[in-house]
Structure 1
Amino acid sequence: MELQQMRYVVTVAETNNFTRAAERCLVVQSALSHQIARLERELGAKLFERTSRRVRLTPAGEAFLPAARQCLEAAERAVAEVAAAVGEIRGRLAVGLIPTVAAVDITRALRDFRERYPHVRVGLRVGASEDLVEQVRQGAVDVAFLGLPTTSRPEGVASRELARDRLVAVVAPDHPLAGRSSVSLRRLSSEVFVDLPAGTAGRAQSDQAFAAAGLLREVAFEVTAADFFARLVGQGLGVAMLPSAYAPQLTGVVTIEVADAPARVEYVIWGRAGRTPAATAFLTALGITGQAGHDA
């Protein structure tokens, strides 16, 4: 069994097509098909069901795929570790972040990192905080930036607190509240809201604050993309509550201080099992070295 064979299997599984897989692997299709067939003979089981219309994994292929990915990742990490031992950073860096991250200028950080370490392949994933924690635990993401209510902390990962922030109200320029310097949760509770999906850590910050104050509110629009907050709020479809450090990035809306606003904590997290050379270099470039502030 060879790593190249595993790479071919993973690529076919990702593309569901032998021709596209061969193109991605930069080989002719006959060579890729031959190597997969050879591997299937060695394993004594078919990995793919092939028809004239599609290709899909067999149960044996479904069982083989996770282990194949782990082997390829281990091999890639071995190469990166050897390169790091002679002073060169290689490999991959998967960075995750929430849409409203504000404690770190991610764009600038990635630009500076790429200029300094051009041989590292950088991937970026945007998602919800709880999903990013799970992806870091599983090793799919190396470093992630997220925000949580003050009542919770990242579990099962190494973490460092970056900043604490309070939420502010965001309204349309012609909204009746737009001229105020401050507003209360009670006054906001009578408004229709634009917010993150229910059950996410970002949504929990506001839900917990209103619940603690004994207030109910209506969330009419649930969005996952940060730019949609400004677009919906700017059209007068609702109001929102967002971190004060992030709100200035929005255009076409007005921000208002909330007297009894909830707070959130921004963290950077990475795997407890150890960091790749690229992840270590990235964190070091951000001034994050040594032990984590919290390792749950």
Structure 2
Amino acid sequence: MELRQLQHFVAVAEDQHFTRAAERLMVSQSGLSASVRALERELQTPLFVRTTRRVTLTEAGRALLREAERILAGVRAAHEAVAAVQGVLRGTLSLGTEQCIAGVDVAGLLAAFRHRHPDVEIRLRQTGSAALAEEVAAGRLDLAFAYRTGPDTDQLRTVALAGEPTTVLCHPSHRFAAAGAAVTPDDIAGEVFVDFQQDWGPRRATDAAFARAGVRRTVALEVNDVHSLLDLVDQNLGVAVVPRHFRQKRPSLTALPLKGVEEVTYETVALLPPAQAASPAARALMGLLTGSAGGS
């Protein structure tokens, strides 16, 4: 089994298409197909189900993909570590983030990083915290800024960045705004809720808090964007339970405390692989963020 074969296999798995993967890798399609077939012969099992339109992973292919991604991430980290020892930071910084994270100015941080390390290519992916945790653990991302969604594992560690309480946002004409008082889960259980998709950190924290309170709520308007959420609340289409700093993005909305549940704190964290597996670029970025020389 060669690294080149693993690179070819991962590219086909990502693109779900041999022609597109070959174009991205700048190799011939016949050469790419031969490389994958050789890998399948060595492993004595098909890795893809091939159709005329796309290819999908078999169960064996899905198992290999997880390991192949970790191997390739380790090889990349080894190359970058050698370059860092030589005094030049090169390679790629693959960063993930959830939208509107408290405690870190992602754009400003990346600008400072690029100024110090212009030879590093920056790749940014924005998605929900649960997906980010999976991608860091799998080696597809060097690090991510997210809301805490679970405990540390052998493949994933967290560095706490900030914490903040929850708030309920509603339109100024809403009956809650007129009362001007804190609300409980029972008070708002029958309301129309605007919330994020289920892999977002705030959604998971709110769902857990209401479940602990024994109150069922229905999310009727589900979005994947902070500003869309605020727009829907601003049109009086529902209420939202969100991190407190969201109120600063739309001062026209009324913000009310949520009481009667265990304190809901949205904790912002940096998601990182184990210390020995962290890339030099990730360590450098964390160093800029924390003000330390070596990072975390």
* TM-score, normalised by the number of residues in structure 2: 0.77
Are the aligned partners of 1:128 and 1:202 in contact in 2 as well (CA < 8 Å)? no
After TM superposition, the structure 1 = structure 2 runs for residues 233-272 of structure 1, keeping only pairs within 5 Å, are: 233-250=233-250, 253-258=252-257, 260=259, 262-272=264-274
Q: Which residue of 1 aligns with 2:183?
A: 184
Give how far 1:282 is off: 0.6
Q: CA 1:228–1:18 in structure 2 vs 1: closer, same or farther (change >3 Å)? A: same
Q: Which residue of 2 aligns with 1:282?
A: 285
C-alpha separation in 1, matches of 2:32 and 2:226: 42
Give how far 1:230 is off: 1.0
Q: Which has the larger radius of gyration?
A: 1
Q: CA 1:72–1:270 in structure 2 vs 1: closer, same or farther (change >3 Å)? A: closer
Q: CA 1:34–1:272 in structure 2 vs 1: closer, same or farther (change >3 Å)? A: closer
Q: Which residue of 1 aligns with 2:102?
A: 102
Q: CA 1:182–1:146 in structure 2 vs 1: closer, same or farther (change >3 Å)? A: farther
Q: CA 1:154–1:126 in structure 2 vs 1: closer, same or farther (change >3 Å)? A: farther
Q: What one-letter code is carried by the residue in structure 1 that aligns with 2:279?
A: T
Q: What one-letter code is carried by the residue in structure 2 that aligns with 1:155?
A: D
Give how far 1:54 is off: 4.5
Give how far 1:65 is off: 4.0
Q: Which residue of 2 aligns with 1:172?
A: 171
| 2:193 aligned with 1:193 | yes
Q: Which residue of 2 aligns with 1:139?
A: 139
* Bigger mean CA offset, 134-143 vs 71-80: 134-143
Q: Which residue of 2 aligns with 1:69?
A: 69
C-alpha separation in 2, matches of 1:174 and 1:79: 59
Q: CA 1:235–1:65 in structure 2 vs 1: closer, same or farther (change >3 Å)? A: same
Q: Which runs of 5+ in 2 are unaligned?
A: none
Q: Which residue of 1 aligns with 2:119?
A: 119
* Bigger mean CA offset, 60-69 vs 3-12: 60-69
Q: Tell me the alpha carbon deviations over residues 16-70 of structure 1, each in whole angstroms, 9 at most, x when there is no partner.
A: 3332222111233344345445556666666556565544556665555444433
Give how far 1:80 is off: 0.6
Q: Which runs of 5+ in 1 are unaligned?
A: none
Give how far 1:237 is off: 1.1
Are the aligned partners of 2:287 and 2:295 in contact in 1 as well (CA < 8 Å)? no
Q: What one-letter code is carried by the residue in structure 1 that aligns with 2:146?
A: L
Give how far 1:291 is off: 8.6
C-alpha separation in 1, matches of 2:99 and 2:54: 36
C-alpha separation in 2, matches of 1:212 and 1:62: 35
Q: CA 1:107–1:182 in structure 2 vs 1: closer, same or farther (change >3 Å)? A: farther
Q: CA 1:159–1:18 in structure 2 vs 1: closer, same or farther (change >3 Å)? A: closer
Q: Which residue of 2 aligns with 1:154?
A: 151
Identity level (%): 37
C-alpha separation in 1, matches of 2:189 and 2:237: 15
Going by fraction, where is helix more abundant, 1 or 2? 2
What count of residue pairs does the alignment treat as equivalent?
288
Are the aligned partners of 2:73 and 2:139 in contact in 1 as well (CA < 8 Å)? no
C-alpha separation in 2, matches of 1:52 and 1:210: 47
* TM-score, normalised by the number of residues in structure 1: 0.77
Are the aligned partners of 1:146 and 1:268 in contact in 2 as well (CA < 8 Å)? yes
Are the aligned partners of 1:133 and 1:155 in contact in 2 as well (CA < 8 Å)? no
The root-mean-square deviation of aligned C-alpha atoms, in Å, is 3.6
C-alpha separation in 1, matches of 2:95 and 2:113: 12
Are the aligned partners of 1:136 and 1:143 in contact in 2 as well (CA < 8 Å)? yes
* Bigger mean CA offset, 165-174 vs 179-188: 179-188
Q: Tell me the alpha carbon deviations over residues 67-113 of structure 1, each in whole angstroms, 9 at most, x when there is no partner.
A: 44333222212111111111122233232323341211112222322
